[in-house]
Homo-oligomer: A and B are copies of this chain.
Amino acid sequence: MLKVPDHQVAGHRARDGRLGPLIDDAGRFYKPLQGDERGANEVSFYASFSSNTKIPDHIKSFFPEFDGTRLVEASDGSGMQTHLVLQDLTFGHVNPSIMDIKIGSRTWHPQAPDGYVHRCLKKDRGTSSLPLGFRVSGARIFKSTESGYWEPENRLSIQTLSADEVKLLLKSFVSSNTSEEPHMKPDCAFASTVYGGSNGILSQLVELKAWFEDQTIYHFYSSSVLMMFEKDLASSGKSPRAEIKLVDFAHVHKGNGVIDHNFLGGLCSFIKFISEILTTPEDSSADSLVEDAQRNHIHSENGSVYDVSLN
């Protein structure tokens, strides 16, 4: 029996009878094929990537496992539809904190038609993508069993964060005090175990970066790095299962002998944000943002300072 996933942070959702992804209880994620060439493109990427013997195993582990396509009953009641069968990345997780980071200052590929280019360009200019080289496209941060999760009130606000706001969000993501005292300076209690260390997020990102400095097979437009961990494990001193995965390949194109300089540049920018948190957790730029929020009461009902649309 397929069901709606609990932990989705971005993309179309299968709630309220709409078309969206489903999961089963064996760890599979069923993503409905987008009707136009995007669906076909994503299938063809997964087929090519999963069978490509030139991709090292440690790089393949950054991608969801692929198990072909299957006809299943769509979540919107429209009957049997083709779905990509992928690994359910949150399978076995209890209360994962998740962020979805769309990488690249440009979400369109060089040969895209003018209309598409201008729509994407407008969005890239209107969000963090152009200034930062990436934009946060979703977040779901576990607070506590009592309080549940923090989520942004609307999806646009989180896509338009400034550099300082992104820094604050990335700190809160690994802090123990995001929940009850939202205006307190995030304590970055789990930064060293989640972002740092030889198995942490930063080290995985750097591994991914090394591949992007070299590989000229694929260019990833509008793909995301998903980053997740279990706060309860971190709190109890256990390994927090911190990991990154790449997702969303409807706009992957051939590299034609050139590295994916757009993705790589954005990835390096994101890496710099994470490494700054590890090297200078006491950096004052985020402090002033917290103070601003306290002074101006720029916060949503659940007390978050992130729901600030900057347009």
With A105-B106, A110-B130 in contact, is A272–B164 under 8 Å at CB?
A: no
CB of A266 closer than 8 Å to a CB of B: yes
A155 to B105, CA, bound (A): 28
The reply to whether A163 and B256 form a contact with Cβ atoms under 8 Å apart is: yes
A213 to B258, CA, bound (A): 20
Cβ contacts A to B, 10 pairs, < 8 Å: A110-B131, A132-B261, A133-B258, A163-B256, A164-B257, A213-B272, A257-B285, A262-B265, A264-B265, A265-B265
CB of A192 closer than 8 Å to a CB of B: no
Give every chain B residue within 8 A of A163 (Cβ-Cβ).
256-258
Give every chain B residue within 8 A of A272 (Cβ-Cβ).
213-214, 216, 258-259
The reply to whether A258 and B131 form a contact with Cβ atoms under 8 Å apart is: yes
Tell me the minimal C-beta distance from A290 to chain B in angstroms.
Answer: 16
CB of A269 closer than 8 Å to a CB of B: yes
Cross-interface CB contact of A266 among B125, B132, B261, cutoff 8 Å: B261
Tell me the minimal C-beta distance from A303 to chain B in angstroms.
Answer: 26
CB of A268 closer than 8 Å to a CB of B: yes
In chain A between 244 and 276, which residues have their CB closer than 8 angstroms to a CB of chain B? 256-259, 261-262, 264-266, 268-269, 271-272
Count of chain A residues near B, Cβ 8 A: 28
A269 to B264, CA, bound (A): 9
In the complex, residue of chain B having the shortest beta-carbon distance to the beta carbon of A130: B110
Which residues of A are in contact with B by a Cβ distance under 8 Å? 105-106, 110, 121, 125, 130-133, 163-164, 213-214, 216, 256-259, 261-262, 264-266, 268-269, 271-272, 285
The reply to whether B269 and A259 form a contact with Cβ atoms under 8 Å apart is: yes
Give every chain B residue within 8 A of A258 (Cβ-Cβ).
131-133, 163, 269, 272
Give every chain B residue within 8 A of A121 (Cβ-Cβ).
121
The reply to whether B257 and A265 form a contact with Cβ atoms under 8 Å apart is: no
Tell me the minimal C-beta distance from A45 to chain B in angstroms.
Answer: 19
Listed residue (A121, A213, A269) with the most chain B CB atoms within 10 angstroms of its CB: A269
With A105-B106, A110-B125 in contact, is A133–B257 under 8 Å at CB?
A: no
A214 to B256, CA, bound (A): 29
Q: Give 10 new A-B contacts, CB below 8 A, not counting A213-B271, A214-B272.
A: A105-B261, A110-B130, A131-B258, A133-B258, A133-B259, A133-B261, A259-B268, A259-B269, A265-B266, A265-B268
